[in-house]
């Protein structure tokens, strides 16, 4: 079965390409607003399901994913601008937060993976430098663990690939369940 990746994320594309999974890209264009009172995990799952449903085509498995950063109960999406990026990085500084990525294959099911990440205490200068670098501009929580912010991550408990945006073990299990041709088959 063919695979449709319903995401514009270059990180998700790179993961699948490096594994040798064949796919086409068809980013889903959906409303990504969190509903009033919607829990973080439920929100990520809903987004993954809606993205995969938007990419559904005959004879293909549609893979949707959504990654969120959660501090306390607040979902930190992509920063609106550099000031918003600084605000988010200040919130994450010297503390632990959760990264939740939900992955869904349309018509099959969704899974959500949670990883805990702890940042070192960041100085104002480090926060300004990270935000002004643009490294976290299009990333939940205004940072990329595989980018510059990785220098300030003290600990990751759980899946690193989840923090980057695609929990590989769970994604590959879903793809296999959906009948997608994996390179080792």
Positions marked active-site: 66
- How many alpha carbons fall within 13 Å on the CB side of residue 122? 28
Q: Which of 54, 33, 42, 68 is nearest to 105 (CA)?
A: 54
Tokens linked to 110: 């969704």
Name the burial class of residue 41, with classes exposed (0-12), middle (13-18) and buried (19+) by CB atoms within 10 angstroms of its CB.
middle
CA atoms of 45 and 58, how far apart (whole Å):
23
CA atoms of 6 and 81, how far apart (whole Å):
25
CA atoms of 176 and 181, how far apart (whole Å):
7
- Asked if 100 and 68 count as a contact pair (C-beta separation under 8 A), the reply is yes
CA angle in degrees (0–180, nearest 5) for 71-75-80: 115
């Amino acid at each position: 079965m063919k695979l449709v990746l319903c995401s514009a994320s270059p990180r998700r594309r790179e993961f699948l390409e490096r594994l040798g999974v064949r796919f086409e890209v068809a980013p889903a264009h959906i409303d990504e607003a969190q509903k009033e009172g919607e829990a973080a995990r439920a929100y990520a799952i809903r987004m993954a399901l809606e993205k995969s449903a938007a990419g559904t085509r005959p004879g293909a498995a549609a893979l949707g994913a959504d990654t969120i950063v959660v501090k306390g109960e607040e979902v930190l999406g992509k920063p609106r601008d550099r000031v918003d990026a600084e605000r988010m990085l200040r919130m994450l500084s010297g503390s632990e937060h959760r990264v939740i990525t939900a992955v869904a294959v349309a018509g099959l099911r969704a899974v959500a993976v949670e990883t805990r990440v702890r940042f070192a205490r960041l100085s104002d200068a480090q926060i300004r430098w990270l935000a002004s670098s643009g490294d976290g501009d299009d990333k939940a929580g205004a940072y990329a663990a595989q980018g510059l912010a990785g220098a300030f991550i003290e600990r990751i408990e759980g899946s690193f690939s989840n923090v980057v945006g695609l929990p590989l073990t769970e994604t590959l299990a879903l793809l296999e369940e959906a009948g997608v041709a994996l390179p080792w088959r």
